[in-house]
Amino acid sequence: MNDIRYVSTRGEQEPLSFKDAVMTGLARDGGLLVPDRLPDVRPFLREWASLDYADLAFAIMRLFAGDVAPHRLRALVNGAYAAFSVPEVAPTRKLGEGLYLLELFHGPTLAFKDIALQFLGRLFAEILEERGGRMNILAATSGDTGSAAIAGVRGQERVDIFVMHPHGRVSPLQERQMTSVLDANVHNIALEGSFDDCQRVMKTLFNDLPFKEKYSLGAVNSVNWARILAQIVYYFHSAFRVMEETGADGVQFSVPTGNFGDILAGWYAKRMGLPVRRLVLATNENDILARFFNTGRYELGRVVPTINPSMDIQVASNFERWLHAKLGGDCAAVREAMRTFAETGRYELPGASRGKVDAEIVAGASDTKRTLATIAKHYKKSGTLLDPHSAAGVWVGEQFNELDVPTICLATAHPAKFPKAILDATGEDLAHHPVLDALAGAETRVAVLPNDAEAVRAHVAAHAR
């Protein structure tokens, strides 16, 4: 079987190998890289069901990473998941009747981004050592990506990382997790704007090809295919555990999402043959994705700051990957759709009717009142604390919990990262974790920059090694 190659959603870049796709990040034509085909893994499901997390990750990733020697891929995977605080890496436990919680916060920075970025940081180091290269990572974060990316590459000799977060719009603990890392290769930027502004600046600099090549820009955001690939694994792992426990022949997943990367990984898992009945997309008040999947209209709104800041997004990068597949791989149609949206802030899916945008995805939106009530309810019921992102996913998941298969809700961050939301929901100071408590009073370093691509360009040029 020929190795999978990676093509741009906009069709104007030559196909790439896995390693080249990882190092390229955003395609040269401004599109996102996607595999030229998805493997049908149904023949392997029975065998895979009994594998532990690292072995399952290796089995899935090797199908997509044909140019990474198997023994090296296994070493990268084993190293990545040895950094987690529980042997199962991403355990799933019962939350209620027909309701399960997939805990994705047992990595070094207590967020689901660790599952991909502990692997990606090691993969970068491997490829750069092999090729004798250097890289300057440019990232945008709405909270957790930044600290997880920094944890994945801090101290690396061949990598510098520049992380932009929206100034004053991430939780204080999330900010301190990033800005208290003082390694010489770590550069934090507080951009005076929203997360969407951070993404816009990032894409502007990536689309400046001479600048991108001069400074060897690399991506750790979910525009990088390796991020999506690593996240596919936990859908399989969790589904296998729940189906074994319940005897069900399938599951559904409820996924809190802002940038569409996490739920996209589940969508790919379903298309590969995992028996996922459907996916439940959960947003907060920034509900552009929920509105789209209920109406077929992708329409920009104003970013509203909320208690779940990682979901405070209007322009979802990974939406383009889904759209490319939905349009049958018609790159010209994708280019036109993205041009229309960029110019007008609106795009309407051809032929979409209400409720029939994608039979595999249903969608709903929580809000602050519902999210806080969900945190309170489950703490009172079982002692389980949910962070506000996970709680939004649970609330929406409960609205769609009518199928004859279990619903697995993704818990994307440890509740201790959001102490104010937990206090507001429960009336108690419950949100603590030793890793986070140790940050109190830590020295920090961050550059506050205006909401301007040129200011960020100059900062990268001045500090890149």
Tokens of 241: 């555990």
User: Which CATH number fits the domain that encloses residue 323?
Assistant: 3.40.50.1100
Model confidence at 317: pLDDT above 90 = no
Q: What is the largest CA-CA distance in the chain?
A: 58
pLDDT digits (tens, 9 = 90+) for 268-279: 999 999 999 999
Which H helix or E strand runs over 448? strand 447-449
DSSP for 119-164?
A: HHHHHHHHHHHHHT--EEEEEE-SSHHHHHHHHHHTT-TTEEEEEE
pLDDT at 353: 64
Residue 413 counted as domain residue: yes
Tokens 């426990």, located at residue: 245
Query: Does residue 355 come out as left (phi exceeding 0), alpha (psi in the -120 to 50 range) or beta?
Result: left
Model confidence at 117: pLDDT above 90 = yes
pLDDT at 354: 61
pTM for the model stands at 0.94
Residue 405 counted as domain residue: yes
Residue 69 counted as domain residue: no
List the catalytic residues: 113
Residue 216 counted as domain residue: no
DSSP for 271-306?
A: HHT--EEEEEEEE-S--HHHHHHHHSEEE-------
**Pick from 224, 230, 406, 411: which is nearest to 310 by CA?**
411
Torsion of CA 146, 409, 395, 377, to 10 degrees: -100
Residue 315 counted as domain residue: yes
Pairwise CA distance, residues 429 & 390, whole Å: 19
Mean pLDDT of 28-48: 97
Pairwise CA distance, residues 213 & 119, whole Å: 24
Per the structure, how many domains does the chain have? 1
Residue 414 counted as domain residue: yes
Query: Residue 422: which domain range?
Result: 92-110+226-434
Mean pLDDT of 167-193: 93
pLDDT band per the 50, 70, 90 thresholds, residue 211: very high
Backbone angles phi, psi at 131, to 5 degrees: -100, -5
Mean pLDDT of 270-292: 97
pLDDT at 355: 57
Mean pLDDT of 156-169: 95
Average pLDDT of the residues of the chain: 95
pLDDT band per the 50, 70, 90 thresholds, residue 303: confident
Backbone angles phi, psi at 6, to 5 degrees: -120, 125
Residue 101 counted as domain residue: yes
Residue 415 counted as domain residue: yes
DSSP-based helix, strand, coil % in the chain, nearest 5:
45, 15, 40
Pairwise CA distance, residues 84 & 77, whole Å: 12
pLDDT digits (tens, 9 = 90+) for 417-432: 999 999 999 999 999 9
Query: Does residue 43 come out as left (phi exceeding 0), alpha (psi in the -120 to 50 range) or beta?
Result: alpha
Backbone angles phi, psi at 454, to 5 degrees: -65, -35
N-terminal to C-terminal alpha carbon distance within the chain: 41
pLDDT digits (tens, 9 = 90+) for 336-372: 999 999 999 999 998 876 657 999 999 999 999 999 9
Instruction: Name the percent of the chain lying above pLDDT 90.
Output: 89
pLDDT digits (tens, 9 = 90+) for 374-424: 999 999 999 999 999 999 999 999 999 988 999 999 999 999 999 999 999
- Count of CA atoms in the C-beta half-sphere (13 A) of 184: 5
